[in-house]
Chains A and B, each alone.
Chain A
Amino acid sequence: MADAMHRENIYSETLGPEQFGIIEKPLTLVEKIYSQAWLRKVGIIVVLALAWEFYARWLDNSLLVPTFSDTMRAFAAGFGEGTIPSRALSSLEVLLIGFATGTLLAGLLTVFAISTLIGTDFLETMTAMFNPLPAIALLPLALIWFGLGMGSLVFVLVHSVMWAVALNTLAGFRSVSTTVRMVGRNYNLNGLRFVGKILIPAAFPSILAGLKIGWAFAWRTLIAAELVFGVSSGQGGLGWYIFESKNQLNIPEVFAGLLTIILIGLAVENVVFRFIETRTVQRWGMQS
């Protein structure tokens, strides 16, 4: 045993595939169902809805907590008579204007920031100052500057979107590898062509993350702003709908309004952004 020089070669027989009990076996139905993430999540939502329903019935005070079924009825009624869709549309319209303006400004600011040293300092200082500041805190000022209407809403929305998007875009541009930059310069790309053809696609995962954060910020800011004064051009948005319903003690409608906000948030996250992700960063293998 101790003699390392005189060990024999060892050969062993491996078993053929037919000698194994299981090599490949389909999973059972239960296992297959449980492996679907969306089914598990639907299960969680059903359990939560049931808990809500039982608690509300036990509490029996529709002014504090209406039952789940009452909420759904108010939601269906609101949809049926068209109030909820029209309020939601009015909110979304303002939101899109603010989001698009904010993104555009963020883009300009970032391009300025990467092309000059002073631009970088400017953007860094501005984001350091304004990113932690809740956009809604500017609403009183905005009301003085732009009056009671769309202008003020768009102002706070731009403010909530711009810094988050600019910060992420700049971080994305900075993380573009030296190799990719050198490849771009090798083909005589410079200035805006370099930004458009190399930097933006290469930094797209970060930019998309920035857009998602910006969207979430904007959505929250908008609803909060609408709760303070919701009427613009004669019609309020979802925040105003909630506020009005509360004033009229229509608590199921308050819940229906909240539900609508949640649903729109989920839809944008899981449909719109998901769609963009599968078409871009996932297809390119830049995100798993």
Chain B
Amino acid sequence: MPSGATLASRSASSAVAKVRAANVVGTDTQADPSRPLLDVRGVTIQYKTQAHLITATYRVEFSVLQGDRFVLLGPSGCGKSTLLKAVGGYLQPTEGEIRLKGELITRPGPDRIMVFQEFDQLLPWKTVLENVIFPLRTTGTLGAKAAHERAMHYIEKVNLTKFAHSYPHMLSGGMKQRVAIARGMAMEPDILLMDEPFAALDALTRTRMQDELLALWDDTQFTVLFVTHSIPEAIKIGNRILLLSPHPGQVKAEINSVPRGQENSNDAAALGREIHDMLFSDQIEETPNG
């Protein structure tokens, strides 16, 4: 399914990534912009429920470059979250392989930090500061003092300095997600994996969180793999969008999003319609069959 056309447009964006990677100082010692940071090759994922063997994704291919804001977009049931969990190392593909910096992913690790949709991802028995310090200390990334400093730095970045000593249950949903993002970023992972992190927020907070995430990205140009089912969110957050069809998830298209800050332009609206039509065509095909 991924045709030559998508590959051609891909090389255009990799040139952008090359320029971008050159601006990033010291985030990756072996930064070779031509080689993808994350490489997903022919990944089929199957899992068993009580009564069924379910194929979640079928031969999905894509690669994420350093500094990408790569979005996995699709309706529910397209296996995008499953795919993200496989990148996280929580699941093993039945077929194909996932490589990070050329290394095969076999289990979870702190080089890929997950940010979940659920608010309970923060450890309720730790304060905001302790939550951000926790992975830095347990993985032995930093010493106590350095971990404290770095945690405060990222808490400040998400504007929660005043709440550093609050417990998670005192925070609103949006603040909890900001802590989770700060905790992920403080680890300075190779790639940040975000599983619909704003889906459980109210519309106003969601928009603000999207803006804040983009501002953070402008600041440090981290690589992020972002899962969503919202077309506007995908266009706004992503620079590259992978469109998945449902049951099982297959790549329908891999396209460039509109440039940063143009998510309200006519181009964005046209792109939204294009994506919508691609998703909608599936439903038309599906209805007569079943």
Count B interface residues, CB 8 Å. Answer: 23
User: A62: CB under 8 A from chain B?
Assistant: no
Please determine whether B124 and A286 come into contact, CB atoms closer than 8 angstroms: yes
Judged by a CB distance under 8 angstroms, whether A9 is at the interface is: no
Q: Report yes or no: B169 in contact with A188, Cβ–Cβ below 8 A.
A: no
Q: Are A177 and B139 in contact, CB atoms less than 8 angstroms apart?
A: no
For B113, list chain A residues within 8 Å (CB): 186
Contact B121 A188 (CB under 8 A): no
B-facing residues in A56-71 (Cβ within 8 Å): none
B138 touches A177 (CB 8 A): no
Chain A contacts for B118, CB-based, 8 A = 177, 179
Contacts of B135 in A (CB 8 A): 186-187
B124-136 contact mask (Cβ, 8 Å, vs A): 1 or 0: 1100000000110
Whether A188 pairs with B110 at a CB distance below 8 angstroms is: yes
Tell me the complex Cα distance, A52–B229, Å. 69
Interfacial chain A residues near B168, Cβ < 8 Å? 285
Which listed residue, A180, A186, A188, A280, touches B123 by the CB 8 Å rule?
A180
B169 and A284 within 8 A (CB): yes
> Are the CB atoms of A186 and B120 closer together than 8 Å?
no
Whole-angstrom distance between the alpha carbons of A202 and B168 in the complex?
Answer: 13
Chain B CB within 10 Å — which of A189, A201, A284 has the most?
Answer: A284
Q: Which of B84-109 contact A (CB under 8 A)?
A: 88, 90, 108-109
Bound-state CA distance A115–B160 (Å) is 38
Chain A residues positioned under 8 Å from B170 (CB to CB): 285
A285 with B139: in contact, given A185-B108, A186-B108, A186-B110 (CB under 8 Å)?
no
**Distance of A182 Cα from B123 Cα, bound (Å):** 12
- B135's nearest neighbour on chain A, judged by CB, is A187
Q: Nearest-CB distance from B248 to chain A (Å)? A: 22
Most chain B CB neighbours (cut-off 10 Å) among A177, A179, A280 = A179
Complex alpha-carbon distance, A284 and B166, angstroms: 10
Of B90, B138, B169, the residue contacting A285 (CB under 8 A) is B169
- B116 contacts chain A at the CB level, 8 A cutoff: yes
Q: Which of B88, B109, B114, B123 has the most CB of A within 10 A?
A: B123
Is B217 on the interface with A (CB-CB < 8 A)? no
Bound-complex Cα distance A103 to B30 (A): 52
Assess whether B88 is in contact with A186, with CB atoms less than 8 Å apart.
Answer: yes
CB-CB under 8 A from A204, the residues of chain B are: 125
Give the docked Cα–Cα distance between A201 and B110 (Å): 21
Query: Does B114 lie within 8 Å of A182, measured CB to CB?
Result: yes
Min CB–CB distance B135 → chain A (angstroms): 4
Please indicate the chain A residues that have their CB under 8 angstroms from the CB of B125 in the complex: 201-202, 204, 280, 284, 286
Asked whether A180 and B138 contact (CB < 8 A) given A186-B88, A188-B110, A284-B125, the answer is no
Task: List residues of chain B with CB within 8 A of the CB of A183.
Answer: 114, 116, 121, 123
A283 within 8 A of B: yes
Within the assembled complex, what's the spacing in Å between the Cα atoms of A183 and B123?
Answer: 9
A284 to B88, CA, bound (A): 28
Q: B167 contacts A285, CB within 8 Å?
A: yes
Q: How far is the CB of A37 from chain B (nearest CB, A)?
A: 23
Considering the complex, give the chain B residue whose CB is closest to the CB of A286: B124
Q: Does chain B have a CB within 8 A of A174? A: no
> What is the distance, in angstroms, from B277's C-beta to the closest C-beta of chain A?
35
In the complex, the chain A residue whose C-beta lies closest to that of B90 is A182
Are B120 and A180 within 8 A (Cβ)?
Answer: yes
- Judged by a CB distance under 8 angstroms, whether A40 is at the interface is no
Whether the pair B138, A193 counts as a contact (CB closer than 8 A) is yes
Residues of A within 8 A of B121 (CB): 179-180, 183
B133-192 contacts to A, CB under 8 A, are 134-135, 138-139, 167-170
User: Which residues, 237 to 288 on A, are CB-close (under 8 Å) to B?
Assistant: 280, 283-286
CB of A283 within 8 A of CB of B167, answer: yes
B108 partner, pick from A188, A197, A202, beta carbons under 8 A: A188
Known: A187-B110, A188-B139, A204-B125. A182 touches B169 (CB 8 A): no
Contact A182 B108, CB 8 Å, known A283-B167, A285-B168, A285-B170: yes
Q: Which residues of B contact A177 (CB under 8 A)?
A: 118, 120
Chain B contacts for A284, CB-based, 8 A: 124-125, 167, 169
Can you list the 10 inter-chain pairs with the closest CB atoms, starting with the nearest? A285-B169, A201-B125, A187-B135, A179-B118, A185-B108, A284-B125, A284-B124, A179-B121, A187-B138, A186-B108
Sample 26 A-B pairs with CB under 8 A, ordered by A number: A177-B120, A179-B118, A179-B121, A180-B121, A182-B90, A182-B114, A182-B116, A183-B121, A183-B123, A185-B90, A185-B108, A186-B109, A186-B113, A187-B110, A188-B108, A188-B109, A189-B138, A198-B123, A201-B125, A204-B125, A284-B124, A284-B167, A285-B167, A285-B169, A286-B124, A286-B125
Residues of B within 8 A of A (CB): 88, 90, 108-110, 112-114, 116, 118, 120-121, 123-125, 134-135, 138-139, 167-170
Interface residues of A (CB under 8 A from B): 177, 179-180, 182-183, 185-189, 193, 197-198, 201-202, 204, 280, 283-286
